[in-house]
A and B are shown apart, each in its own frame.
Chain A
Amino acid sequence: MDPDSPGSSTAEPADGPEAGPVPDEVLTRRAALGDKAAFAELMGRLGPGLYRYLLRLLDDRGDADDCVQETLLAAWKGLPGFRGESSVRTWLFVLGRHEAQAVLRRRARVPASGSVPVVDVHEAAADLRDLRADPEGDTISVELLAALDASLLLLPERQRSVWILREVEDLSYAEIAEVVQTTPAAVRGLLQRARTTIATTLEDWR
């Protein structure tokens, strides 16, 4: 895994600073054998990326919260059967997307009422907060992130998934193909289309 990627291990080392953090695979093995502390540490590492992905897939904080809960439940219950054929991170995204698709299917069955969903402005601002010191830079960052989120909403679900998993979560084409159930070649095409749409949308951002 790329050490600079967002899902990389960043927790405090368990065996002293010189030893480095316990690898995800070791925590996964321990969690599969019932070690709750290992599961909590693993989810502490992988949770932010999972939430980032699901929130942008569902565009609804309540649904994202529920989806993350269901994904973690499925992960805890499913870990004893996890064979390690993919990384635990990829497996978690597979579980997460599965849960998100169930939400999206339910939404599709409910006809749109035409009403505008209530959005809490403060909550939305907090969601977009980038914890940096410079207030001016902070504002620009928040706005740019909001513009990116808006452009992501223009993408069909699979393109959005592929773009986030590649550009933000740094998964390989093969890993993404596993998550979105397609081939690495198809991932390449989906990614290209998504990149074009996002770049075009952001052209006019101030």
Chain B
Amino acid sequence: MTEDSTPTPGRERSTRRGSTRAAEATLLLRQHTDAGWTAIEGTVIARALAAFRPSAPVRGRHDLGDFLVASDVVVARLREAVDAVRGGAAQRITCSTGERDELEQVTIQLVAAYGPPLLDLADAVHVVALACLQELLGTLAPTGEQVRVHVHIGDVSDDPRVVS
């Protein structure tokens, strides 16, 4: 004897009801922000930002002697300087150091605004990057040959939100 597997009208109604409620509940959950997140948002973001990003040290020199600064800090300062240049934004910045942690090479990859001459932008970025490194690293900062600052245009965008 076999059981009839044909769904009854009642069963179909029940299944439809379940699917409808699941859809309603899904919609609610999409719009829902848990109170838990609201309560911890500020704290968890602040704690994450207080964490140290492991990065190589870079040697600087001022009147009182040598000091070391994390390359992560160098990168952050360079980004600020580069992003302030109109028509360009930093896409990737890498630093290479030598045996005594002296900065040997900086590579700055840029996103450029569509339209303005790219060589002018690259020159402007080169100037502000050198000035920024000088301020940060003192007499160990690049003076032309000491550190080479390479500027690459990695992307061109006409979106004002991407390039200021």
Please report A residues at the B interface, Cβ cutoff 8 Å.
5-6, 13-15, 19-23, 26, 29-30, 32-36, 39-40, 43-44, 47-48, 51-52, 55, 61, 64-65, 68-69, 72-73, 75-77, 80, 123, 126-131, 141, 144-145, 147-148, 167-168, 195, 198-203, 205
Q: Is B40's CB under 8 angstroms from A199's CB?
A: no
Nearest chain B CB to A42's CB is how many angstroms away?
A: 10
Q: Is B25's CB under 8 angstroms from A20's CB?
A: no
Q: Which residues does chain B contribute within 8 Å of A203, judged by CB atoms?
A: 14-15, 17-18, 21
Q: Which residues does chain B contribute within 8 Å of A75, judged by CB atoms?
A: 48
Please report B residues at the A interface, Cβ cutoff 8 Å.
14-15, 17-19, 21-22, 24-26, 28-37, 40-41, 44-45, 47-49, 51, 53-55, 72-73, 75-76, 78-80, 83, 89-93, 159-162, 164
Residues of B contacting A: mostly? helix
Q: Is B54's CB under 8 angstroms from A145's CB?
A: no
Q: Is A68's CB under 8 angstroms from B18's CB?
A: no
Q: Which residues does chain A contribute within 8 Å of B89, judged by CB atoms?
A: 26, 29
Nearest chain A CB to B161's CB is how many angstroms away?
A: 5
C-alpha gap A32/B160 in the complex (Å)? 20
- For the complex of A and B, the 10 pairs showing the least CB-CB separation, nearest first, are A34-B76, A203-B18, A51-B37, A148-B25, A199-B18, A72-B48, A33-B79, A202-B21, A126-B35, A76-B48
Contact partner, B44, options A30, A68, A198, Cβ 8 Å: A68
Q: Is A48's CB under 8 angstroms from B33's CB?
A: yes
Q: Which residues does chain B contribute within 8 Å of A195, judged by CB atoms?
A: 22
Q: Is A26's CB under 8 angstroms from B162's CB?
A: yes
Chain A minimum-CB-distance residue to B77: A34
Q: Is B35's CB under 8 angstroms from A129's CB?
A: yes
Nearest chain B CB to A144's CB is how many angstroms away?
A: 5
